[in-house]
Structure 1
Amino acid sequence: MKNSIAIRREDLNKKGEKRVAVIPELAKTIIEAGHNLRVQSQKHPETNENKRAFSDSAYADLGATITEDIAGARVVIGLKEVKTEYIAPNTTYLCFSHTHKAQIKNREMLRTFKDRKTTLIDYELMVNADKARVITAFTYFAGYAGMIDTLWTAGQRYALAGQLHPFAAIPQSIETEDLNIIKKLIQDIGTHISENGTPDDLPPFINVILGQGKTSTGAQEIYDILPVENITLAQIPEIYANGDRKKVYKCVLGITEMFRLKAAASLPAHTYAALTIPQKESHYFQHPSDFESNLQAILPYASILMNCILWAPQFPRLLSRTFTKAQWEQHQTLIAIGDITCDPEGSIEFSQETWIDDPVFIYNPATNTSTLSMEGQGIAVMAVTNLPCEFSADASTEFSANLSPYLPGIIAANYEASLENSQLPEAIQKAVILWNGEFTPRYAYMQDYL
């Protein structure tokens, strides 16, 4: 089936956003398949701001029409949430909608999608037969940019305190937008650390990474460019006391180390202790109320903390305000948190969204206050909500590669038929939240959000 396809430009409220789901190379396949393709200009008409990493001419040269008017397109391909005034009726939208976990900020958008009888397909929910996400490119790039920006934050905080640290030479990712350039710079800094060490008046640099998924993997790939020694949770106090300044340290924690069994848990402590790690993880997911944060074991020693875990309200927090205040009163070693997952008031209760142009806030546990700044008393928190767009071109290229196997089925589907008869690939059908204005059975629970 031939459909009219449009690639939308991201909205102005998405600061610094220049990523695109379909790069010119992939757009070529849409045109070659006989579909009409309209592309909104990379320049926003109100501000002339560049909102896409790839030029208009790169699409126009392939035969796409560059136009502001994408009304009437049957399928609109974007990335982030869509402002309600731009949602056209009886249209299919592909985006990261951030609605399936009851996100309050996007309920009006979800309601508008429904009221205007649209079809909503969410990239985050595209999974294969093994229930693994098929769109993962941005996850790795969030790890890359998050790690770089957290090291940059730490370096700036040290500099503000009058401490000359090698990390002060690391720029924020957006300053170069070239991953290879920053990797080479970090490699040079690593050589400097190997030869000269980090400052003697600071403790050994210990990076504790929470989580073992793709975001964590991306963060580790960047950090491992440095002269890194991997350590266990049990080794942290000794490394803090006697570690080598000519290297940096990394401790990656899984679920069974991030969280501990409560004293009043439904499962006796001796029974839990006898379980294997997979069995302990299974109990955590089935009985999250049995657990509490175990981060008191690392907060006295960690220089930075990287939060790379997925979180939902039924699970315990890693850092509540009360818990963090109690720890801060005893130890103030932690200089920065990289909250890559950026769930406001989530696993880190005091976290809040920041943007590339103002990426850091200072949280003061003693007063329970936050200030959007690099300066001030407390913990610097880097919580940029759209980290991958600091490497917009690279991230978009990887994203398109992930999307490529599924795109022919998406653009040729019959959106007038039932979902079952639409010919959408199975992985994409699983990601359909709304079908012509009605919640699909998989997401019927979301009706309660409206």
Structure 2
Amino acid sequence: MLGNGVVGILSESSNMWERRAPLTPSHCSRLLHGGRGKTGVARIIVQPSTKRIHHDTLYEDVGCEISDDLSECGLIVGIKQPKLEMILPNRAYAFFSHTHKVQKENMSLLDKVLAEKVSLYDYELIIGDHGKRLLAFGKFAGRAGLIDLLSGLGKRYLNLGYSTPFLSLGASYMYSSLAAAKAAVISVGEEIATLGLPSGICPLVFVFTGSGNVSQGAQEIFKLLPHTFVDASKLPELFAMKSRDLAQHTPAPKRAFQVYGCLVTCEDMVEPKDPTRRFDKTDYYAHPEHYNPIFHERIAPYASVIVNCMYWEKRFPRLLSTKQLQELMRNGCPLVGISDITCDIGGSIEFVNQSTSIESPFFR
């Protein structure tokens, strides 16, 4: 069956919100009409779906076949992991399997792939000659994650007794386009700039980890708000000013008209165990066991929100452990929310012990 020139497109079944498609109608048109000698594709069979962002008729218009039966396909592609009964023997499949980190919830899928002698092309593991991933989270993950965080932040602060402009922002899926979502965030920013934020929740500091697509996307949305980025080393000064005003009984401003951002790097997260050595990124990546975590001491005590966008493996120190969080809360840390866009269960943020859904995006 492999390489028979027939490609199948799965109907996504991982959750009700998954509307994406691995191939758009325009992609299919190029594959079908570019000449089999060039593309190797003679037919494309698309499983019908009434929720897919591209309607079935759009695929039919470019020459695809619509059928639930993909048994003639040598290669079957999707976005997320399919149901076990969708795995046919001796085929090639391509999708995000979420198995290479030994995710418990997907081990039955991996067992099925092995039992059926399937060739699995996991998007997460496809790399180019330079060693970098060719398929990865894009900026949209960061954009959506930050919009949903801001929406949740409004509700969280209201629960704590503070009304903020964030309360008017909807979840990312409620907007018909990126432009519409950005316009809503800009409106929130204009309200902050004119009416301000309650002084009791300020300085409002967003800490971003990572520098890749996800972090860039999240920062893109954050920058639509009136903001100032501060270096990690300057965070204590923001809070020292507030403490000084309180100690001197100086009337503090009743409102704040901007938020603060801080982009942290691994140098802000760890330090060498040997006090005579300086941080070296190459050495850290090669020997993370020679480093101690410091994020919970140097950064987290000043964070109102942590937006976690960094890649992490078990060999590295955690960004934040459960014990560290408990100590921070006892000491009055202003942290009210974490947006773990990486969604590594029990990963760099230990107490993130479950994934969330679009309809229920937060847990405590």
Q: Tell me what 1:171 maps to.
A: 170
Q: Does the 8 Å contact 2:308/2:338 carry over to 1?
A: yes
Q: Tell me what 2:49 maps to.
A: 42
Q: Does the 8 Å contact 1:203/1:241 carry over to 2?
A: no
For the pair 1:250 / 2:256, whether they are aligned, the reply is no
Q: Tell me what 1:7 maps to.
A: 9
After TM superposition, give the deviation of residue 241 of structure 1 in Å.
4.4
> What does residue range 44-443 of structure 1 map to in structure 2 within 5 Å?
50=51, 52-136=52-136, 138-242=137-241, 245-261=256-272, 265=273, 268-271=274-277, 273=278, 280-295=280-295, 296-351=297-352, 352-362=354-364
Q: Highest relative contact order (Cα 8 Å, sep 6+), 1 or 2? A: 1
Deviations 1:55-107 (A, max 9, x none): 11110111211111112210101011122211001111011112222222222
Q: Does the 8 Å contact 1:206/1:250 carry over to 2?
A: yes
Segments of structure 1 that go 5 or more residues without pairing to the other structure are 44-49, 363-450
After TM superposition, give the deviation of residue 221 of structure 1 in Å.
0.9
Deviations 1:378-430 (A, max 9, x none): xxxxxxxxxxxxxxxxxxxxxxxxxxxxxxxxxxxxxxxxxxxxxxxxxxxxx
Q: Does the 8 Å contact 1:15/1:356 carry over to 2?
A: no
After TM superposition, give the deviation of residue 139 of structure 1 in Å.
2.6
Amino acid at match of 2:115: D
Counterpart-to-counterpart distance in 2, 1:167 and 1:303: 14
Runs of 4+ in 1 over 6 A off after TM superposition: none
SS in 1 for 2:301: coil
SS in 2 for 1:134: coil
Segments of structure 2 that go 5 or more residues without pairing to the other structure are 37-41, 243-254
Counterpart-to-counterpart distance in 2, 1:230 and 1:56: 46
140 and 116 in structure 1: CA distance in 2 versus 1, 3 angstrom threshold:
same
Counterpart-to-counterpart distance in 2, 1:360 and 1:216: 20
Q: Normalised by the size of structure 2, how large is the TM-score?
A: 0.89
Counterpart-to-counterpart distance in 2, 1:330 and 1:116: 54
Counterpart-to-counterpart distance in 1, 2:201 and 2:126: 45
After TM superposition, give the deviation of residue 120 of structure 1 in Å.
0.8
After TM superposition, give the deviation of residue 177 of structure 1 in Å.
4.3
Q: Does the 8 Å contact 1:210/1:258 carry over to 2?
A: no
Counterpart-to-counterpart distance in 2, 1:305 and 1:256: 17
Higher mean C-alpha deviation, range 110-119 or range 216-225: 110-119
Counterpart-to-counterpart distance in 1, 2:332 and 2:168: 27
How well do the aligned residues superpose, as a CA RMSD in angstroms?
1.7
Deviations 1:128-187 (A, max 9, x none): 221122224x43111111111111111110122231111111111112242110101111
Amino acid at match of 1:36: R
After TM superposition, give the deviation of residue 2 of structure 1 in Å.
5.4
After TM superposition, give the deviation of residue 321 of structure 1 in Å.
1.1
Q: Does the 8 Å contact 1:198/1:204 carry over to 2?
A: no
Counterpart-to-counterpart distance in 1, 2:21 and 2:111: 25
Q: Normalised by the size of structure 1, how large is the TM-score?
A: 0.73
